A and B are shown apart, each in its own frame.
Chain A
Amino acid sequence: MACRPSIISRGSDVGQSTFNMPPAQTESALPMVQPLLKEFQLLFYISKIAGILPQDLEKFRTKNVLEKSRNGMVYMLAMLIVYVLLYNILIYSFGEEDRTLKASQSTLTFVIGLFLTYIGLIMMGTDQLTALRNQGRIGELYERIRQVDERLYKEKCVVDNSHIGGRIRFMLIMTFLFELSILLATYIKLVDYTQWMSVLWIVSAIPTFINTLDKIWFAVSLYALKERFEAINQTLEELVATHEKFKLWLRGDHDTSSRTLDSSQPPEYDSNLEYLYRELGGLDMGSLKGSGKNKVAPVSHSMNSFGESIEASDKATHHPISVNMAHESELSNASKVEEKLNNLCQVHDEICEIGKAMNELWSYPILSLMAYGFLIFTAQLYFLYCATQFQSIPSLFRSAKNPFITVIALSYTSGKCVYLIYLSWKTSLASKRTGISLHKCGVVADDNLLFEIVNHLSLKLLNHSVDFSACGFFTLDMETLYGVSGGITSYLIILIQFNLAAQQAKEAIQTFNSLNDTASLVGAATEMDNGSSTLYDLVTTTMLTPTV
C-alpha cells in the first residue's frame, strides 16, 4: 500500500520532496511529516541575531531549510570580531585591579586566573568557527532527519515533533534566567557600578550565552534522534502487544475453562498490583498477564512431561494460520513482517548514522565545553576557597566571592555539561533497546522464518550501535561523570594544599621580616651575635615546625 509513494519520495529531490508529492500522499503526509526545523524557529532567530549561525534567514523563514549564505557569514565573522574586541577591553579594564593586587595574590591564584582568562573566549570561538565550517552540512542533517520521518511514517510510525518547540522555549528561558541572575547579582553585589566602565561587565556573559545557544541546538537535535529511536521501539513493542492479544484471542476460543478458573482464584499480590497499574495508568496489564500465562502455561516446566508440551506447542503454531478472521496480527505473517522489520532496521541504521554525523559536527564544541566545564568548576571552587580565606582573586572571577552566586554559576555550567552527557547516554540506550524489542518480536511470533530474520537483524544492530564521544577523547556517558567528579575533587584538594603552603610560607616570611626589623633595632642597642642567633633559631623553628 505504502510502496508506491515511498519510491516517489525517495527518488525526489532533496528539499523539494514535500512539494512534489502526489496529492493523495500530500494530504496525509503534510500534516504528519513536518520538518523538524519548523520547531526551531525561535531558536534560529535568536541564534541568527547573536551570530551563531551563518545560514540564510529568508530561506529558513519560507522553506524551513538551512542554507549557506555569504551575508550571514560576514555578519557572523563581524560579530565574532566585535565579541573578541569587547572581551579584550573588558579584560583590560578590569585587569587594572589585578595588576595592583598582583603582589598580594598568591602566585598560584594569579597563574590560574591568567590561564583561565581566555578559556571562555576560546570556547565561544570554537563554537562559532565550527558553525561556520559546518554551515552546509547542518542543513543536510536536518534534511536526513526529515527523510527518516517520512520513512517512519510509511511504517505507520508517527513521530510527534510538537513538544520540541516547548522544550526549546523552556531551555531558552532557563538560559536567560541563569545568565541574567548571575550577571545581575554579580553586577549589583560585586562590581563598582559608579564607574561607567562597569557597564562592560555585561560582556562577560556573552561567551557562555553563545555557547549555551549552540548547545541547545545540539541537545534538541539529539533529543529528536532519541525520540525517533523510541518511536521505532514503540512500533516493535506494539507489534508484540497486538500479536499477544491475537494469540490470546485465538486461545480464548479453546481454553475458556482454564481462564475462568484463573480468575476465580483468591486475590494475590499481583492482583493488588494490577489494580495499581490501572491506577498509575499505562500498560494494559490484563492482556500482558493473560498472555504471559497462556504463553507459557501449556509448556510444562517439568522435565518429565514431554508429550504434553509438544501437543500444546503444535496447537500454538498451527492456529495463527488457520484462524485469521476478526483479529489480525502482522507478526503472524512472516513474509509481510519481514519487510517491515527490515525497513525499521534500515531506518534505525540511518538514525545511528545521523547521530554519528551530528556528533562529528559538534565534536570540537563539545570537547571545548567539557574542558571549560572541568576547569571552570575546579577554578570557581578554588577561588571560593580563596575568598573565604580573605585572599584576593582575579577580578574576572569575582562571582566566586559570593557563595550564593557561585552555586548558581556552578549549577549552570554543570547543568549544561551533565545534561548533554545524560542525553547522549539516554540516546545510546534507546538505540540499544531496539535489539531487545526486536527479539521480543521473534520470541512472541515463534516462527522459524522470522527467527532467521531476527537473528540477521539482531547481529546488524549489535554491530551498529551509536556512542557519542568528544572527538574520541572520552565517551559521553555517565561513567565519564564519575571520572570527572573524581578529578575535580582531587585537583581541588591539591590546589588548596598548595595555597595553604604558600600562605604559610608568606606569613613566615612576613614574620621573619618584621622580626628582622626588630632585631636590627634591638641589635643596635645590645650585643649583635647573641641576639641574632636566638632570633635565627626562632625563625627557623617557625619555618620548619609550624607549631608556634
Chain B
Amino acid sequence: MSGRLGRVLHFHLRFYQVLGFHGLPLPGDERPHRTRQLLRAWSLFILMGLSGMVAVCLTSDLEFLYKGDLFGCVNDGMKFIFSELAVLSIYAETMASQRPLARFWWLHGKLNRQQQHGSRRLSRPVSIRSELRQYRRYLISLYGILVGEILINIWLWQVQPADMHLILFWSTFEPLVFLMYMRNVQFVLHMELLRQQLAQLERELSLLAEYSRFASLTGRSFKDFGHFLRRRLLQKQCVYNDVHEMYTCFQRAFRFSTLTVLLSIYVRIAVDCYFMYYTIYISVANLDYSLILPALFEIPAFIYASQSCMVIVPRIAYQLHNIVTETGCCGFADLSLQIQNFSLQILHQPLRINCLGVTILDCCLLTRIVCSVGTYIIYTIQFIPKFSNQ
C-alpha cells in the first residue's frame, strides 16, 4: 500500500525516517498524527545522543583528537564542531520545518497525479524496473558512494592494524560522516524530483513547439488551434508555478542544513588534506587519509544535481519561444501575449538553488571550493615546520 509514491521512493523515505531526517508520516501509515510525534521524538533523541558524543569527544582525554600539537588539535576539533553544527541543524530542521516539506510532497503528488491523468499510458502500476530507471541518478549517487565508503573502510581494516585510534575513529566520527552523507543524498533526492518535473515540462513545451512548427509549415491545423495552444500554455504556466513552489519549499525545508552539511564536508576535506600532508611529512605509515576519497565525491554529487536542475529553466524558456505564432489561424495575438506572460513569469521565478542565499550551488562553486581548499592547504602546510620545532 504505497500510495502514489512508488516503491523506491517509499523505501528510501522510510529509510530517512529511520535516520530521523524525514519527519512526516508516509502514505499508508495508520495513525499519521502519532507517527509524526514519534518521528519528532526520535529525531530529538538522536540529536541528544550525537551531541553528547561530540561533547565527550571534545573534552575527553582519550585520543579522539590529534594531540601532537595545538594546531592539529584545533583542526581536528573543528571537524567535530562543524559536524555537530550540521547535525544540530539537520535535526532541528526535521523537527521544526515540517510544513514546507509537507507542501513539497503534496505538490509532488499533485503534479504526478496530473501527469498520470494526462497520459493514460502511465496510469497502470509502474514496474520496479522503470522506477529504478527513473531514479537512477539518485540511486547511483546513494549506493555508489555508500559502497565506496564501505570498501575503503574494509580495505583500511585489512591493511592497517586495528589500533585504538582506528576504533575511536570508527565509533565517533564515522557515524557523523555517514549521517552527513545521507543528508546530502536526501538533498539530491529532492532535487532529482524537482529536475524530473522540470524536464517533463520542458518535454511538453518542446512538443507544443514542434506541433506549432508543423502546423505553420504545412498549414494543417484545425479550428481554434491558436486557442488550444493558449490553453495549453496557461496550463503549463500553472505547472511551472507549482514546480517553482516546490523549489521554494525545498529551499525552506533544507535552508540551514544545506549550508552546514556542505560546510562540514568542506572542512573535513580541508582538515584531512592537511593531515595527509602531515603524515607524509613526518613519514608515519598511516593510511587514514584515504578515507576522504568518498567525501571528495559528495560535494560534486550535490552540485551536479543542483546544476542539472538549474540548467533546465533556460531550456524551458527557449522551448517556449520556439512556439510559432503565425500559423494562419485566429487568436494569435492572444497566443503571443500568453507566451510573453509565461516568459515574464519565468524571469520573475528563476530557479536558483542557493543555501540561505549565501552562494548559488553550481559548478562555479566547485571551482571556488577547490581553489580555497588548495589555498588553505598551502597556508597550513607552511605551519608544519614551525610547529614541529616548538
Contacts and interface: CB of A to CB of B under 8 A. Distances in A.
Interface of A: 267-270, 272-277, 279-280, 282-283, 285, 289, 292-293, 295-297, 299-303, 306, 309-310, 313, 425, 429, 432, 435-436, 438-440, 442-443, 446, 448, 451-452, 454-455, 458-459, 461-462, 477-479, 481-482, 486, 489-490, 493-494, 497, 500-501, 504, 546-548
Interface string B304-335: 00000000000000000000000000000010
A440 B348 CA distance: 11
A439 B237 CA distance: 9
Contacts of A547: 388-389
Interface stretch (B43-51, B57-65, B184-192, B375-383): B375-383
Nearest to A437: B348
Interface of B: 3-5, 24-27, 29, 32-33, 36, 98-99, 102-103, 105-106, 109-110, 114-115, 117-120, 204, 207, 211, 222, 224, 227-228, 231-232, 234-235, 237-239, 241-242, 244, 334, 337-338, 340-341, 344-345, 347-349, 354, 356-359, 372, 375-376, 379-380, 382-383, 385-386, 388-389
Contacts of A276: 24-25, 32, 36, 98-99, 102
B356 A478 contact: yes
B231 A478 contact: no
Nearest to B356: A478
B379 A493 contact: yes
Nearest to B385: A546
Contact of B115 (A301, A443, A494): A301
B358 A504 contact: no
A546 B386 CA distance: 7
Contacts of A443: 234, 237-238, 241, 341, 345
A411 B233 CA distance: 51
Contact of B228 (A310, A425, A494): A310
B255 to A, nearest CB: 11
Of the candidates B25, B348, B388, the one having the most CB atoms from chain A within 10 angstroms of its own CB is B348
B224 A454 contact: no
A289 B345 contact: no
A275 B33 contact: yes
Given A296-B114, A302-B119, A310-B228, A439 B386 contact: no
A462 B348 contact: yes
B231 A310 contact: yes
Given A302-B120, A310-B227, A443-B234, A459 B358 contact: no
A500 B386 contact: yes
B389 A546 contact: yes
A-B complex: 7 closest residue pairs judged by Cβ atoms: A301-B118, A478-B357, A269-B27, A435-B348, A270-B109, A546-B389, A458-B344
Contacts of A303: 207, 211
B349 A436 contact: yes
Describe A's contact surface by its main secondary structure: helix
A272 B32 contact: yes
A185 to B, nearest CB: 23
Contact of A439 (B207, B239, B341, B376): B341
Contacts of B27: 267-269, 272
B386 A452 contact: no
Of the candidates B26, B114, B234, B241, the one having the most CB atoms from chain A within 10 angstroms of its own CB is B234
A295 B231 CA distance: 11
Contacts of B356: 478
A309 B224 CA distance: 11
A439 B32 contact: no
Contacts of A548: 389
Given A268-B3, A301-B119, A451 B382 contact: no
A270 B110 contact: yes
A436 B348 contact: yes
A481 B224 CA distance: 54
17 contacts: A268-B27, A270-B105, A272-B24, A272-B29, A273-B24, A276-B36, A285-B106, A296-B238, A303-B207, A310-B228, A443-B341, A455-B344, A479-B359, A481-B358, A493-B380, A501-B386, A546-B386
Given A276-B32, A300-B117, A303-B211, A425 B334 contact: no
B4 A299 contact: no
Contacts of A481: 358
B109 A268 contact: yes
Given A268-B109, A269-B27, A276-B36, A462 B383 contact: no
Nearest to B340: A455
B118 A455 contact: no
A282 B379 contact: no
Given A270-B110, A461-B348, 7 more contacts: A272-B32, A273-B103, A276-B98, A301-B115, A301-B118, A301-B119, A458-B344
A425 B354 CA distance: 13
A462 B106 contact: no
Contacts of B33: 275, 279
Nearest to A444: B238
Contacts of A301: 114-115, 117-119, 204
Contacts of A446: 234
A275 B379 contact: no
A462 B36 CA distance: 42
A270 B238 CA distance: 19
B231 A313 contact: yes
Contacts of B110: 270, 289, 292-293
Given A273-B24, A276-B36, A310-B224, A482 B358 contact: yes
B359 A482 contact: yes
A340 B358 CA distance: 36
A275 B99 CA distance: 11
Contacts of A279: 33, 36
B252 to A, nearest CB: 12
Nearest to A309: B231
A309 B358 contact: no
B3 A504 contact: no
Contact of B227 (A273, A313, A429): A313
Contacts of B375: 490
A209 to B, nearest CB: 29
Contacts of A295: 238
Contacts of B383: 497, 500
Nearest to B355: A478
B235 A299 contact: yes
A442 B341 contact: yes
A443 B242 CA distance: 12
Nearest to A282: B99
A306 B228 contact: yes
A442 B337 CA distance: 12
A269 B104 CA distance: 12
A272 B4 CA distance: 12
A458 B348 contact: yes
B102 A277 contact: yes
Contacts of B239: 296
A316 to B, nearest CB: 9
Nearest to B26: A269
Contacts of A438: 348
B348 A448 contact: no
Of the candidates B3, B26, B388, the one having the most CB atoms from chain A within 10 angstroms of its own CB is B3
A478 B386 CA distance: 36
